[in-house]
Amino acid sequence: MHRVQLHYTLSRDAGTALIRNPLPELLQAVAEHGSISGAARALDLSYRHVWGALKRWEEQLGGELIIWGKGQSAQLSEFGTKLLWAERQAQARLAPQIAALHADLERAFAVAFDPQAHVLTLYASHDDALAALRAHAATPGRTGGLHLDIRFTGSVDAIRALNEGRCTLAGFHTVENAQAESLTARTYQPLLQPGLHKVIGFAQRTQGLIVAPGNPLQLNTLADVARTGARFVNRPLGSGTRVLIDELLAQDGLAPGALTGYASDEPSHTAVAQAVAAGAADVGVGIELAARARGLGFVPLVRERYHLACLKASLDQPATLALRTLLQTPDWLQQMAGLPGYTPLRCGEVLAMSRVLPWWRFAKPKRASRAQAV
């Protein structure tokens, strides 16, 4: 049995990858460039180093990684192709957990090297714009020294973490103009309390069907998914997208069992897109950015708002103020606007809960009658 060992590097320039493995990187380079020499140039390594590394891995793993034909380019063997696929699949599936581990390590060292840095813990529904924000905030020279400790989890779980004191901010998303009797309202209303919580604007984004390139099954709605028996990949209970999926099914008069694969779920938009890209599923619901990043098709279903919630008591704390300031800077707004399917929406502004969560309706106090006044 082959075992996996994890290690990390601490340096001034450790790159942007959350987790690295030199073997898949080398295999990818060979596949792209068709030769050992091309892969060595791409990786800025010597031919001898790459050749020796491949031979050592073949001996350790007990299988041929590269095959050559006379007068032909170097190609990955079936074993090498399967190793590369497995690594991609594992990284896509474990991306939220890897990001959380990465954030834990960065937080510890951020405090160690700069005790004055602002550290803000955020539990949030998986969102690529938040991941981009974390990298943007960490760019050297940013005002405030803000480090975002983001733990990706479901929307419901994020708000519960906020209410239990495990984080300062919670990221969650809702469809626009959700009605008071909707599943969205019934899910979030018990978790948020006017006067106790505050909502900070962040983004508007598109959710839809992630499908194979060209949408060969012609899937445009969840009703189409049910009718065709297409293999569906779901999101876990507690996630905001699971709430959205169940809401859309109810609107179409469909039971969860109508979708083939409803009981199968993936932990993030990235993992859903990877499942479709790998052919393990025909369709899933997710954000446009995850689909476009893998060259997949995308069918818009709904526009929704992504919110950041905090307790009123932490709204004006230095770390929260630093984030609110960063969210309203022109360079961040421009960066978010460039993400497929995203639009900045009242970014960094403190918003009235009754405006962004329209199921909250506050009746005006009645005037006392003259008789009562007397």
Average confidence (pLDDT) over 57-67: 88
Residues in the chain: 374
Whole-angstrom CA distances from 58 to 44, 69, 200 are: 22, 18, 53
**Percentage above 70 pLDDT, the chain:** 88
How high is the pLDDT of residue 12?
65
What's the predicted TM-score (pTM) here?
0.68
What is the end-to-end Cα distance of the chain in Å, rounded?
86
Dist CA 159 CA 8 (whole Å): 31
How high is the pLDDT of residue 13?
63
How confident is the prediction for the chain on average, in pLDDT? 87
Q: Please state, as a whole number, how many other Cβ atoms lie within 10 Å of the Cβ of residue 57.
A: 18
How high is the pLDDT of residue 192?
94
What 3-state class would DSSP assign to 355? helix
Average confidence (pLDDT) over 27-46: 88
Tokens representing residue 221 in the block: 């709605």
Q: Please state, as a whole number, how many other Cβ atoms lie within 10 Å of the Cβ of residue 37.
A: 14
Q: Which of 42-46, 96-100, 230-234 is modeled with the greatest confidence?
A: 230-234
Dist CA 72 CA 106 (whole Å): 45
Residue 368 has pLDDT above 60, yes or no: no
How high is the pLDDT of residue 115?
61
Residue 361 has pLDDT above 70, yes or no: no
Contact 31, 76 (CB under 8 A): yes
What 3-state class would DSSP assign to 146? strand
Residue 356 has pLDDT above 90, yes or no: no
Whole-angstrom CA distances from 278 to 147, 218, 270 are: 34, 19, 12
Q: What's the pLDDT tens digit per position in 202-220?
A: 999 999 999 999 999 999 9
How high is the pLDDT of residue 20?
75
Average confidence (pLDDT) over 223-227: 97
Choose among 307, 175, 189: nearest CA to 246. Answer: 175
Q: What's the pLDDT tens digit per position in 163-198?
A: 999 999 999 999 988 888 899 999 999 999 988 999
**Percentage above 90 pLDDT, the chain:** 56
- At 374, is the pLDDT very low, low, confident or very high (cuts 50, 70, 90)? very low
How high is the pLDDT of residue 141?
60
Average confidence (pLDDT) over 231-241: 96
Average confidence (pLDDT) over 22-29: 87
Whole-angstrom CA distances from 259 to 77, 200, 229, 288 are: 37, 35, 7, 21
Dist CA 345 CA 197 (whole Å): 19
Average confidence (pLDDT) over 21-38: 86
